[in-house]
Amino acid sequence: MHAETYCDAQMNPYSTTPSAQTRADWRVIRSLLPYLLEFKVRLVAVIVLLVLAKLANVVVPLALKAVVDAMSKPQAMLTIPVFLVVGYGVLRLLSTLFGELRDALFAKVTQRAIRRVALQVFQHLHSLSLRFHLERQTGGVSRDIERGTRGISFLLTFLLFNILPTLLEIGLVAAILFVKYNPWFAIITFATLVLYIAFTLAITEWRMVFRRTMNDMDSKANTRAIDSLINYETVKYFGNERYEVERYDEQMQRWEISAVRNQTSLATLNAGQSIIIAIGVTLLMLLAADGVVKGTMTIGDLVLVNVYMLQLYMPLHFLGFVYREIKNALADMEKMFRLLDVNKEIADAPGAQPLKLEHAAVRFENVRFSYDPAREILHDVSFDIPSGHTVAVVGASGAGKSTLSRLLFRFYDVNAGVISIDGQDIRSVTQTSLRAAIGIVPQDTVLFNDTIYYNIAYGRPEATRDEVIAAAQSAHIHTFIESLPQGYDSMVGERGLKLSGGEKQRVAIARAILKNPAILIFDEATSALDSKSEKAIQDELRNIAQNRTTLVIAHRLSTVIDAHQILVMDKGRIVERGTHRNLLEIQGIYAQMWALQLQEEH
């Protein structure tokens, strides 16, 4: 339960004014209401059980007072008030039983809320643009989601089961004391309560700065650790293990400072709360003892007041802890809900229709694009890929070749111009239908940390095993997979690190074959293969490209000589276009590149 052990120390971007923070807290609480209202009947039953448990709890001291008063009379020693003692035991049992039933009924509500919110965040993250995912820090985001979902459970459970019942119990006890005894009993009880709550709120608000800084440092340390572990090969290549440990420790030092401040401020809070409660209890006991001495109260009344004080002390003390933890849970959830506030850069247009595929002809018309307004990547790019044709794009690194595939997939929107498929602007159709029509074999194949079978089947998860094996055979990787001890069930490791570059590329090719798309993109698809494997794969790529509209982005010119048209790009512009033969004849950039590559091969 110790969310206290989370950390923080630099001024974080989420620091806000108290009023703005309160508004943010209420927004988080409001966002959970739909999940609660999904189970209206269950919720009503939970509240009824909650009230019954508290009523039983409040009646227990009254039963105890009756037992004590009955036992304090001399003749009662001979006739023990069995029904009172049994009644006392039954009330004790009921207060616990109602509480357990309430918890059991509410479990489904809490867990469903956690599942729904986690799913919503996960779904939203997948809907965000490539730009967000290139800038995000995986470790920090995963920790934010983890803490946020845990915060939901805490918030729902303790807000409903501790704060509300505690306030109800305090109200009932104060009412009984006010009606049955000297009004000072109720006045002292209320004064202690108000002072306690005011002190708790003030100190908790002050402590939240340390808490938020703690969380920030925790996320940053986690991000740094995951980033370092993912790139462990690079760390080892350069012998920088010590440097990485020092960088991690630098973040953990800041975390430590905030964690210490967090803990010492917690000690201050606990000490202050204990002092307030102790003073209140002492004053009430003095008042009760005085009543007994004067004869206005019985021993049972003294016991009643004492038991009420003990009953109130625990929830009151717990109320302070719960309030702190609820504030902590809200701070944890705040970051997670901020992820939901990140706007989608690329969204389906209102009323977007699925892509209607007839010929799968692709057209780029006067396309201009820049990742950063200060530096334009593509300048007025226009070309057609007729149905069933193959168009290759070649050029120096950084010429903007791979940007074409990202724009076709609509990971980004063009700044000017139009990209269309069968005459439909890709911005006017749904992203799901657009991406279902396109398959890609990327230059850098990253695989899921699962089996080879899973990674190939990812191209079309509903495919049969025979179809997956047929795709592997087409990509010339079936024999290799069969030679492995676990065959298709072999794990590929994090990002596919257990496979060589060529093996990963073949898995990517098999995945694209299995998807069976109308439009294919090969982005340096054979770059990780040796010459012999490349020739075998090249033939297969030609086979799967037949009757498909294909865009080939290539560095090695030998892989594109059969293309219907070759585009030569330089600094974001198409500077030459034509067939392999035409381009050699005009003796331009392409001819120079061809001559250079022939020279390198010899």
Tallying the residues shown for the chain, one arrives at 602
Enter the pTM of the model: 0.62
pLDDT at res. 509: 86
Find the Cα–Cα–Cα–Cα dihedral 302, 308, 311, 313, rounded to 10°: -90
| Angle, CA 553 vertex, CA 551 and CA 555 arms, to 5° | 155
Helix (H) / strand (E) element for 425: namely strand 424-425
Per the listing, tokens 């995912």 go with 133
In the predicted model, is pLDDT for residue 8 greater than 60?
no
Residue 348 three-state SS? coil
Q: Which residues pair with 551 in a beta bridge?
A: 391, 521
> What does the block give as tokens for 367?
């396309």
- Contact at 8 Å (CB) between 475 and 526? no
199 or 81, greater pLDDT: 199
Tens digit of each residue's pLDDT (9 = 90 or more) over 90-132: 877 887 888 788 778 777 777 787 788 778 777 777 767 666 6
Closest CA to 53 of 107, 110, 92: 92
pLDDT at res. 3: 36
- Contact at 8 Å (CB) between 361 and 422? yes
pLDDT at res. 15: 42
Tens digit of each residue's pLDDT (9 = 90 or more) over 135-164: 555 556 777 777 777 777 777 777 777 777
pLDDT at res. 7: 36
Closest CA to 344 of 121, 124, 543, 539: 124
Q: Fill in the amino acid letter for 165.
A: P
Give the chain's domains with CATH numbers: 22-341 (1.20.1560.10), 362-437+517-601 (3.40.50.300), 448-504 (no CATH)
pLDDT at res. 366: 92
H helices of 485-588, in order, are 501-515, 531-545, 580-585
Closest CA to 137 of 235, 260, 21, 251: 251
In the predicted model, is pLDDT for residue 13 greater than 50?
no
CB within 8 Å of 488: residues ≥ 6 apart: 451, 452, 453, 468, 469, 472, 481
